[in-house]
Amino acid sequence: MRSEKEDNILTDRELSLMNAIAKVFPCAKNMLCRWHIQKNVLANCKKHFDDAHWKKFLATFAVIMYAPTIEVYDERVRDLKRDFMMYPTVLEYVDKTWLGPHKERFVCAWTDSVMHLGNYTTNRAEGHHNKLKKYLASSQCNFQNAWEKAHGLVEATITAIKCSFEKSLSTLQHSYKIPIFNNLVGVVSQDAMRYMEMELKKIHSINMECTTPCVCPLRHTHGLPCAHEIAPFKNKEEQLPLSLIHEHWKKLSFDKPKKDPTIAESMKANFDIFMERFSTYDEDHQRHLMRKMTEVIYPHSTSLTEPKVKAKVRG
Ligand SMILES: [Zn+2]
C-alpha cells in the first residue's frame, strides 16, 4: 500500500519477515492481518473454553481490536482480564503474543492513523495464492507448465482489474446522480464513491455545531473526506473537488499518468531567466551557483550525506 510519504505493509506475524521490513522499510508501518490473528487465537485458546465462554471470549477480543482510542482499548483490556481471570493461560497467550508486543499493528486506536486504504487483512493475497494453487492443479508440473499457468492467472487478474476500472469509468449508479458528486463520478473508483455515499448519509446525524475537532479515521486511513469534510460543501450546495480524493482512488487505468507539459514549459522559462541573470553575476557568485547546480544534476557528487536512519529491531 502506498501513502504520500511512506509505504505501509500488511503481513502475518512472521517475526523474521517483520524484522526484515523494519530494516528495509524503516519508515513503513507494519500492520498485522486481523484475520490471521483471530485464526491463531482460535487455534491456541478455543481448547480452554466451553462453547458459551468461547463465544464470549472471542467477542471480547474482537471489540478490543476495534477499540477506537487508547483509553477505550485500556478499558476493554481491563474488562477482558476481569471477565476471564479464571483462564490465566489464555490471558498470558493473548498478552504476550498479541496485545503486549503488537497492539499498535492491529488495534484501531493505532491503525486508524495509518493509510491502509481499507486493507485490514491479507485475504487479497491469500485469495490469489489459493487461485494460483487451483491454476497449477498439481505440484508435479515442470517449469514451463507452471510458468504458463501462473502467466494465465496474471492475465486473468489484469482483465478483472481492467473490468473494474471500466465499471468505475462508465457506470453511473443512480444514488451518485447528485450535484455534490458531479466532479467525481466516472473519475474516481466505485469503492471510493461507496465510502463517500455512506459519509454523506451520516451528515444529518452529526452535530456540526460541536467545537471538538473531527476524529473520523477516513481521511487518514483511506484519503477520503468524512461527513465533517463533506458537510460544508453540501450546505453551500457546492460540488466536492477532486483534490479531496487520494490518488489511489483516481487510478482507473494501467497507463502511466500523462506528464503535464506546462511544467516543462515554465521550467524552461525560469531557466532562461536564470541564465540571463547568471551572466550578470561576479565570478564568486557564479562559482557558488555552479556548485549548487552540480549538486542538483549529480546528487552523488555532493559532500552532504543523507541522515542515517535508525533501524528498528523488533521481535
Ligand atoms: Zn469527520
- Over residues 177-210, the pLDDT tens digits come to 899 999 998 889 999 999 999 999 998 887 766 6
CA of 183 to the centre of ligand 1 (A): 21
Q: Which residues of 66-93 are buried (b: 16+ CB within 10 A; e: fewer)?
A: ebeeeebbeebbeebeeebeebeebbeb
Residue 46's identity, in one-letter code, is: K
CA of 218 to the centre of ligand 1 (A): 8
Residue 85 corresponds to which cell in the numbers above? Answer: 481471570
Judge if pTM exceeds 0.85. no
Mark whether 195 and 208 lie in a shared domain: yes
Mark whether 38 and 91 lie in a shared domain: yes
Mark whether 178 and 166 lie in a shared domain: no
CA of 206 to the centre of ligand 1 (A): 9
Mark whether 29 and 54 lie in a shared domain: yes
* pLDDT (0 to 100) of residue 312: 62
CA of 198 to the centre of ligand 1 (A): 12
The answer to whether residue 291 sits within a structural domain is yes
Higher pLDDT, 141 or 188: 188
**Does residue 315 have a pLDDT over 60?**
no
The answer to whether residue 257 sits within a structural domain is no
The answer to whether residue 286 sits within a structural domain is yes
The answer to whether residue 4 sits within a structural domain is no
* pLDDT (0 to 100) of residue 2: 45
Mark whether 151 and 181 lie in a shared domain: no
Mark whether 138 and 180 lie in a shared domain: no
Domain boundary among 62, 84, 111: 111
CA of 215 to the centre of ligand 1 (A): 6
* pLDDT (0 to 100) of residue 1: 45
**Does residue 256 have a pLDDT over 80?**
no
Mark whether 164 and 182 lie in a shared domain: no
Structural domain span for residue 155: 123-170
The answer to whether residue 117 sits within a structural domain is no
CA of 202 to the centre of ligand 1 (A): 10
Mark whether 230 and 284 lie in a shared domain: no
The stretch 63-86 carries a mean pLDDT of 95
* pLDDT (0 to 100) of residue 204: 85
Q: Which residues of 146-179 are buried (b: 16+ CB within 10 A; e: fewer)?
A: beebeeeeeeeeeeeeeeebeebeeeeeeebeee
* pLDDT (0 to 100) of residue 257: 66
CA of 140 to the centre of ligand 1 (A): 54
Band (4; pLDDT cuts 50, 70, 90): very low
Tens of pLDDT, residue by residue over 238-252, are 999 999 999 999 988
Q: How far apart are CA 166 and CA 163, in angstroms?
A: 5
CA of 200 to the centre of ligand 1 (A): 11
Mark whether 199 and 215 lie in a shared domain: yes
Tens of pLDDT, residue by residue over 214-230, are 889 999 999 999 999 99
Q: How far apart are CA 8 and CA 166, in angstroms?
A: 27
Confirm if 27 and 307 have CB atoms less than 8 A apart.
Answer: no
Mark whether 164 and 204 lie in a shared domain: no
The answer to whether residue 259 sits within a structural domain is no
The stretch 82-108 carries a mean pLDDT of 95
Domain boundary among 62, 78, 111: 111
CA of 141 to the centre of ligand 1 (A): 53
Chain mean pLDDT for the chain: 87
CA of 249 to the centre of ligand 1 (A): 19
CA of 62 to the centre of ligand 1 (A): 24
CA of 208 to the centre of ligand 1 (A): 10
CA of 78 to the centre of ligand 1 (A): 29
CA of 71 to the centre of ligand 1 (A): 20
Mark whether 59 and 77 lie in a shared domain: yes
Q: What percent of the chain has pLDDT over 70?
A: 90
Mark whether 209 and 283 lie in a shared domain: no
* pLDDT (0 to 100) of residue 186: 87
The answer to whether residue 101 sits within a structural domain is yes
The count of structural domains within the chain is 4
CA of 244 to the centre of ligand 1 (A): 13
The answer to whether residue 307 sits within a structural domain is no
CA of 227 to the centre of ligand 1 (A): 5
